[in-house]
């Protein structure tokens, strides 16, 4: 039996984690016509590996709600923001919103459990322009606009309800230098919190 003062997880682990959009580690899940890499975003994975931070892959809301083809086998033939607008509309329907809430709760349970045991969440990384995981921009009305994707919006609302403040950045695989710099800033801020 352990006392309240007993330090657990006193081993080689960093006790530092970053939550990332599913498609950063698995481009195969992304909507047709939008993958920038064959398997994963290598420069970001290399940066995270070098930092010794634990990587938590969030679920792909679009895959869970709409399937791999997002309900449109010809989606890749449409302009990206037009298809993303259609996907956003599908994600905003009641059945999808229910699944998204379940996915948000899945992520929240992990965040709460790690925080309970003194682990640091250095940040959350989303994918800008995405109808689900956009942080700074999303797709709406057939264009890329300021705002959050449906999943990120629900996740932020739940974190706010819980009184949890976690740094969040949005990146684009097509803008890899900016993406690496943004995640690098998250990692540096996180390491400063740990001091």
In a domain, 105, yes or no: yes
Tell me the whole-structure pTM to 2 decimals: 0.89
Spatial distance between the Cα atoms of 138 and 179, rounded to a whole number of angstroms? 16
Nearest to 13 by CA among 52, 47, 65: 52
68 part of a folded domain: yes
Is 114 inside any structural domain? yes
DSSP state of 26: -
Residue pair 161/101 in contact by the 8 Å Cβ criterion: no
11, part of any domain: no
Structure confidence by residue, pLDDT tens digits, 92-125: 999 999 999 999 999 999 999 999 999 999 999 9
pLDDT category of residue 33 using cuts at 50, 70 and 90? confident
| Cα distance between residue 41 and residue 34, in whole Å | 13
In a domain, 27, yes or no: yes
The answer to whether position 26 is within a domain reads: yes
Q: Domain count of the chain? A: 1
d(CA 104, CA 12) in angstroms, rounded, equals: 29
Q: Taking residues 133-151, what's their average pLDDT?
A: 97
Host domain of residue 50: 16-194
Give the residue-averaged pLDDT of 6-32: 87
Q: What pLDDT, on the 0 to 100 scale, is given for residue 34?
A: 82
Better-scored residue on pLDDT, 27 or 20 = 20
User: Rounded to an integer, what distance in angstroms lies between the CA atom of residue 50 and that of residue 73?
Assistant: 38
Average pLDDT over residues 179-191: 85
Q: Is 96 within the bounds of a domain?
A: yes
Residue 3 resides in a domain: no
Record the tokens describing residue 56, joined without a space: 């938590």
């Amino acid at each position: 039996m352990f006392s309240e003062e007993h330090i657990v997880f006193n081993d080689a682990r960093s006790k530092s984690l970053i939550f990332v959009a599913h498609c950063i580690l698995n481009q195969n899940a992304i909507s047709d016509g939008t993958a920038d890499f064959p398997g994963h975003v290598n420069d970001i994975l290399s940066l995270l590996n070098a930092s010794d931070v634990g990587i938590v892959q969030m679920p792909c809301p679009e895959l869970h709600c709409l399937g791999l083809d997002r309900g449109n086998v010809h989606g890749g033939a449409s302009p990206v923001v037009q298809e993303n607008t259609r996907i956003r509309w599908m994600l905003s329907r009641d059945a999808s919103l229910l699944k998204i809430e379940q996915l948000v709760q899945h992520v929240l349970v992990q965040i709460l459990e790690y925080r309970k045991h003194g682990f640091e969440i250095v940040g959350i990384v989303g994918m800008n322009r995405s109808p689900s995981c956009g942080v700074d921009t999303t797709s709406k009305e057939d264009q890329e606009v300021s705002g959050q994707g449906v999943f990120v919006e629900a996740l932020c609302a739940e974190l706010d309800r819980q009184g949890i403040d976690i740094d969040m950045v949005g990146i684009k695989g097509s803008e890899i230098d900016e993406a690496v710099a943004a995640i690098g800033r998250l990692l540096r801020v996180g390491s400063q919190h740990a001091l």
